[in-house]
A and B are shown apart, each in its own frame.
Chain A
């Protein structure tokens, strides 16, 4: 049984260093998938078909409640009365909260978009034998892989290709 590695890298000379070192040591089954960068902005306003975990009304509604209560209370003293001041207080509170959330999300959204370079830019898949696996893992990590996952290969093709037909597991 062989081992298959999935790893992510950023674009740098380290990717090529890792690949060349693996090839130098007879690990030739390498597949690379460069990822496209995120260019889409997150949507600010939720639609019927999807939300993205951002909300612009959380603080707005809390402030609307507080503003409404204070408005009603003050309305007993002020000229327009509790009903109008209550409505004004609620609308004002909501507006302040909405603007706060909106700006906060704009900043967060920008961060998400610009932080893309911190994430994986290249996926590297490496297949090797069990004996080679510690070396491959060490090579990937030492060349600044962002993440490495090691999976067991259950299909027999790799061993057959590697010219080791004796240890073929029975096909089920």
Chain B
């Protein structure tokens, strides 16, 4: 794929099977991508396979959020406690938040639109792409993945669904964030008291600033693994279709009539 002079070099490729995951172009609704960026900057970029951009935006939002106590302010605002919300926000950094947040939404939308065009070009070009990758780090291959299995694993501990479909990079991020949230928000402890019926204690131990990260991480893990499991399965079918058409449709093959035995 990296030999630019070869006559076998194509212009656009539909997919690439790498040790860290299968990267593929597929059609996406740009609005959905933008909405995931609204949920958490970086998520939209992960979905369109721009992992480094996604990481930069994700950790930037995470850092500013921690500095300014934005999640705590959101919690107070939704409860109508405006004075507390004003008091807790750090005015030194909060203005930094707005432009980068809007950039993440705009940029993921724009890129999703572009990638949809590239998808059409790549699909029309029928270029060969690897269906298999062996390396010292990982083994990866195209295969059918069951979306429901990915979803159920993602619902247990975030990142397992992504590991099932071999999306290592977003699995690492999801696992890391889940662990940080579990450590600093005491959410498992809170769940424990909740299950025991001790609601006041459950409310007391949980920390809003950290726990408010959890819903977006949790549901993103589910969406990422489910949606990509569907697309990987479609990619497998498509790749196999093209392979069979290339190799097993000889013009010399003659079909014979005959009664069924």
Contacts and interface: CB of A to CB of B under 8 A. Distances in A.
Contact of A150 (B245, B250, B261): B261
Given A34-B245, A122-B244, A29 B258 contact: no
Contact of B258 (A12, A32, A154): A154
A11 B261 contact: no
Nearest to B244: A32
Contacts of A153: 256, 258
B248 A31 contact: yes
Contacts of B243: 16
Contacts of A158: 254, 256
A1 B247 CA distance: 26
Contact of B256 (A16, A32, A122, A151): A151
B260 interface: yes
A12 B144 contact: yes
Interface in B233-252: 236-237, 240-241, 243-245, 247-250
B259 interface: yes
Main secondary structure of the interface of B (DSSP, over half): loop
Interface residues of B, number: 22
A19 B244 CA distance: 10
Nearest to B255: A125
Nearest to A3: B261
B15 to A, nearest CB: 15
B143 A155 contact: no
A155 B249 CA distance: 20
Q: Pick the most buried of A2, A149, A153, A158: most chain B CB atoms within 10 A of its CB.
A: A153
Nearest to B144: A12
Interface in A60-114: none
B244 A151 contact: no
Interface of A: 2-4, 11-13, 15-16, 19, 29-34, 121-122, 125, 127, 149-155, 157-158
Interface of B: 143-144, 236-237, 240-241, 243-245, 247-250, 253-261
